[in-house]
Amino acid sequence: MKAMSENNFSYLRKVLATGATVFGLSALLLLVAPGLFNELLGLATNPALEWSMRMIAITLVALCGNMLSVSLKGTDKSVLFSARVMTFSAAALGVLTLLTPVATLTWFDYAYAAVGFGFSLAYLIGLIRTR
């Protein structure tokens, strides 16, 4: 029984590390080309919005570091805590992406929302398996 539990924590650690990588790539895009990111979301870009996106990118860098740290060195309790937080946060990211204030959602809106919902589901599966 213990080996199965360890596998479930290993699964959650892999989801956290994968999420850190995906959010890290998003952060890089937001830092380097916030205008492109805005356009992909269907938003009219401007210097103020691009500055805001870069601020979000820095926050994502911090999130990535914490997710990676927990996945590599965190206790099982900290992995569970982070997975619970990320289950909610990833789902909220999906919902918020679909609420982008544009007349018509783009393919990128749907893809980015799907990534959020996919991670939320992956965390939820891992959490259910650890019970």
Three-state secondary structure string covering 15-57: HHHHHHHHHHHHHHHHHHCHHHHHHHCCCCCCHHHHHHHHHHH
Please state the separation of Cα 121 from the chain's center in Å.
12
How do residues 78-120 score in pLDDT, each as one tens digit? 999 999 999 999 999 999 999 988 889 999 999 999 999 999 9
- Which pairs with CB-CB distance under 8 Å and at least 24 residues apart come from 125-129? 125/11, 126/8, 126/11, 126/12, 126/15, 126/83, 127/12, 127/80, 127/83, 127/84, 127/87, 129/8, 129/11
**pTM of the prediction?**
0.89
How do residues 17-43 score in pLDDT, each as one tens digit? 999 999 999 999 999 999 999 999 999
Extents of the domains making up the chain: 2-129
